[in-house]
Amino acid sequence: MEMETETKTNEVFPILIFSSFIFITNVISAFYKKYYLYCLLFFCLTITSLIFHYNTNIYTNILDRFFVLAIIFYGGYMLYKKLQYITKSMFY
């Protein structure tokens, strides 16, 4: 039973590492669009995600979740600002 769990973990581990590198596309896209804070947040998420998948503990989990939440909140803020701009341009 223990050997089976270890095999499953070894199979999933590379997939988790490669999935962390998908965030690099967001880093490049944000940099190209001159959203530098968004770029920095996705870069930090990439790093913390890699660290979390190499060394899973409560501290890396909290750090990884912090950057996920930071991206969600900053994305919501950006959406709010864009909608505010669109609304002003529609009515004025």
* 22-80 pLDDT tens trace: 889 999 999 999 999 999 999 999 999 988 888 889 999 999 999 999 999 999 999 99
| Per-residue pLDDT at 6 exceeds 70 | no
Report the amino acid identity of residue 25.
T
pTM of the model: 0.77
Q: What are phi and psi of 42, to 5 degrees?
A: -70, -35
- Cα 37 to Cα 5, 16, 44, 66, 81, distances in angstroms: 40, 25, 11, 15, 15
Identify the domain containing residue 62 by its residue range: 2-91
Output the CA–CA distances (angstroms, integers) from residue 26 to 16, 17, 37, 56, 74, in the order listed.
Answer: 17, 16, 12, 24, 14
Number of structural domains, the chain? 1
